[in-house]
């Protein structure tokens, strides 16, 4: 047998072995340059010779060429070898004539229809040649090329995503460990809290979107120590918070949000002024970050936007109220701490008959963002009613009254300086007085609160915020512990010491008396998504002051947070 014949025979055997390895039969088409049409040969891969069988779906492309490994004399035919049926095939396979033959076996493009019948169709379109070339040792370059796995991704059927995988992906949130030690006498561990929040957003279509979220807090300090009363330990040991869970619907210039949500109408540094809709978790006073401190409301809200104007209407059928904790906690806000007795909080007014509602309008004029609002509500902050007669030991009960508030906000960006202001007039709120003849130990006082702030962007990524605030008591009662004009100021300095290290200090001080709060903090973003912080919360002043009443609660703390 000549060298060219032996080479063609070896390559044919390779093709047959490939066919056997995939347990499929095929129909081979041999196409010669001068042939009018393909001549079919039927192979049964279970035998060593060609026998009649059912039509198979294997394509073998044979072409004329010149062997580079060894020169071969041209055959007498001059056109090459033609493979045919029966004796002609047998004769040509055993003929001792030199041939110029190059064989390029290939499999490609599995047809979806023939795959069901366990066949491979290679005639769907011209198959790419997987080079055997004229080199007798050439192999198929890859399994992907052999079986058509190099098709575009769009042509391959995609695998369905398991339901469990869809449920666990797309979540965002954080997990945070907070440890605090109150160093004033008596020194004690005041917090060892693990806080985890999860949220997820999605949409049904471009006009209907949704959000779900929740948070779980567990504070081991109330298991590790018996310093606090039993009621405090039960109240602050652990809690699950339903956070924002709402449905958004867009309809042209109107947007609607239904469900539990934040409604934020104002935001200044350190304290709350025009943010009258939000309920707050005050069991740690105003020390946590505002996004943790705010409690969402179950509300229906409609917004209309047109050009530079915006209108908003909100209805809260059953109000959510502030969380103030239990008597004996570090930041319980009741009067005459250490002397008075406190009854359980009365929340009976929290029903649909005392729904909260409000409207807010805003407009952008020459860079000035100006808004005005009206809000009627069951006061989220409690009023402490004195129970019993003037000669009885002081006993108080926190209750919630209906109030009305009218206010506005403004903001203007001047480049490196941002001006902000908020103003709120409150009608219906009551305050404690020392006069024994006052009913329930309270007097009704309408008040006006306002704050003006300047935010400076300084070199070296430094921020300076200055604020002045004031409360005005109308028809001021002389037995109030507070002055007719209560003034205060704050200063916040924040800057980066390095790309990953940030320092800040906040001081809020009364200008009427020595009543203050100082909060230094150092944060280190040591890894992406990881932050470690250390800081202190220090209070000073008389027990009637906003901050001095917590003079016993000075503490140092550390936090480790992972965001995802």
Residue 285's alpha-carbon distances to 236, 329, 539, in angstroms, are: 14, 11, 12
pLDDT tens, the chain, 564 aa long: 444 444 444 444 444 344 344 433 344 344 444 444 444 444 443 444 444 444 444 444 444 444 444 444 444 444 333 333 444 444 444 444 444 444 455 544 444 444 344 333 434 344 333 333 344 333 333 434 333 444 444 455 566 666 555 655 689 999 999 999 999 989 999 999 999 999 999 999 999 999 999 999 999 999 999 999 999 999 999 999 999 999 999 999 999 999 999 999 999 999 999 999 999 999 999 999 999 999 999 999 999 999 999 999 999 999 999 999 999 999 999 999 889 999 999 999 999 999 999 999 999 999 999 999 999 999 999 999 999 888 889 999 999 999 999 999 999 999 999 999 999 999 999 999 989 889 999 999 999 999 999 999 999 899 999 999 999 999 999 999 999 999 999 999 999 999 999 999 999 999 999 999 999 999 999 999 999 999 999 999 998 899 999 999 999 999 999 999
For the residues of 374-391, what is the DSSP string, one character each? Answer: EEEEE-SS-EEEEES-TT
Between β-strands 341-342 and 297-306, what pairing exists: parallel, antiparallel or unpaired?
unpaired
Total residue length of the chain: 564
Q: Are the C-beta atoms of residues 547 and 506 closer than 8 Å to each other?
A: no
Residue 94's alpha-carbon distances to 91, 106, 554, in angstroms, are: 5, 25, 102
Enumerate the domain spans of the chain. Answer: 170-563
What gap in Å lies between CA 401 and CA 379, rounded to an integer? 6
What gap in Å lies between CA 120 and CA 126, rounded to an integer? 14
Classify domain 170-563 by CATH architecture: Beta Barrel (2.40)
Residue 256 parent element (H or E): strand 254-261
What is the Cα Rg of the chain in Å?
A: 41
SS3 call for 245: strand
What gap in Å lies between CA 227 and CA 120, rounded to an integer? 78
What gap in Å lies between CA 335 and CA 337, rounded to an integer? 6
Instruction: Give the chain's count of helices (H) and strands (E).
Output: 8, 31
Q: Burial, 49: exposed, middle or buried (Cβ in 10 Å; 0-12, 13-18, 19+)? A: exposed
SS3 call for 26: coil
């Amino acid at each position: 047998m000549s060298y060219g014949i032996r080479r063609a025979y070896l390559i044919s055997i390779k093709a047959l072995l490939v066919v056997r390895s995939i347990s499929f039969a095929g129909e081979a088409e041999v196409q010669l340059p001068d042939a009018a049409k393909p001549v079919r040969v039927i192979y049964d891969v279970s035998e060593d010779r060609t026998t009649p069988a059912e039509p198979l779906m294997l394509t073998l492309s044979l072409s004329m060429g010149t062997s580079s490994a060894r020169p071969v004399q041209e055959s007498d035919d001059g056109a090459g070898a033609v493979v045919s049926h029966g004796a002609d095939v047998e004769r040509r396979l055993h003929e001792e004539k030199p041939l110029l033959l190059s064989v390029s076996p290939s499999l490609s493009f599995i047809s979806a229809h023939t795959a069901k019948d366990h066949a491979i169709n290679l005639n769907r379109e011209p198959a790419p040649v997987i080079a055997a070339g004229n080199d007798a040792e050439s192999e198929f370059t890859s399994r992907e090329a052999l079986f058509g796995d190099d098709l575009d991704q769009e042509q391959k059927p995609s695998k369905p995503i398991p339901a469990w995988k869809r449920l666990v992906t797309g979540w965002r949130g954080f997990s945070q460990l907070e440890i605090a030690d109150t160093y004033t006498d008596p020194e004690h561990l005041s917090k060892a809290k693990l806080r985890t929040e999860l949220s997820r957003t999605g949409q049904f279509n471009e006009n209907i979107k949704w959000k779900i979220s929740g948070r779980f807090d567990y504070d081991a300090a109330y298991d590790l120590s018996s310093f606090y009363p039993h009621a405090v330990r039960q109240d602050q040991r652990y809690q699950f918070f339903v956070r924002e869970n709402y449905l958004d619907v867009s309809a042209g210039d109107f947007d609607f949000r239904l469900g539990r949500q934040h409604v934020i109408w104002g935001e200044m540094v350190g304290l709350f002024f025009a943010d009258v809709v939000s309920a707050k978790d005050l069991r740690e006073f105003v020390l946590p970050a505002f996004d943790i401190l705010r409690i969402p409301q179950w509300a229906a809200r409609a917004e209309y936007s047109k050009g530079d104007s915006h209108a908003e209407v909100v209805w809260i059928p059953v109000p959510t109220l502030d969380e103030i904790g239990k008597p004996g906690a570090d930041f319980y806000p009741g009067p005459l701490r250490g002397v008075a007795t406190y009854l359980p909080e009365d929340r009976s007014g929290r029903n649909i008959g005392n729904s909260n509602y409000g409207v807010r309008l805003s407009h952008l004029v020459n860079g000035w963002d100006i808004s005005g609002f009206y809000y009627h509500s069951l006061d989220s902050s409690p009023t402490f009613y004195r129970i019993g007669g003037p000669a009885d030991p002081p006993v108080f009960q926190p209750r919630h009254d209906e109030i009305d508030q009218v206010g506005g906000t403004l903001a203007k960006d001047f480049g490196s300086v941002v001006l902000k202001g908020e103003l709120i007039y409150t009608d219906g709120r009551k305050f404690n007085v020392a006069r024994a003849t006052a009913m329930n130990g309270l007097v009704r006082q309408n008040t006006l609160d306002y704050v003006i702030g300047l935010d400076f962007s300084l070199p070296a990524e430094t921020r300076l915020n200055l604020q002045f605030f004031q409360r005005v008591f109308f028809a001021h009662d002389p037995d109030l512990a507070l002055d007719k004009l209560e003034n205060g100021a704050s200063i916040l300095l924040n800057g980066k010491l390095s790309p990953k290290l940030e320092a800040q200090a906040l001081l809020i001080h009364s200008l009427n008396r020595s009543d203050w709060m100082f909060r230094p903090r150092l944060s280190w973003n040591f890894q992406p998504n990881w932050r470690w912080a250390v800081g202190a919360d220090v209070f000073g002043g008389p027990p009637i002051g906003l901050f001095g009443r917590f003079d016993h609660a000075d503490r140092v703390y550390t936090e480790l947070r992972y965001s995802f």
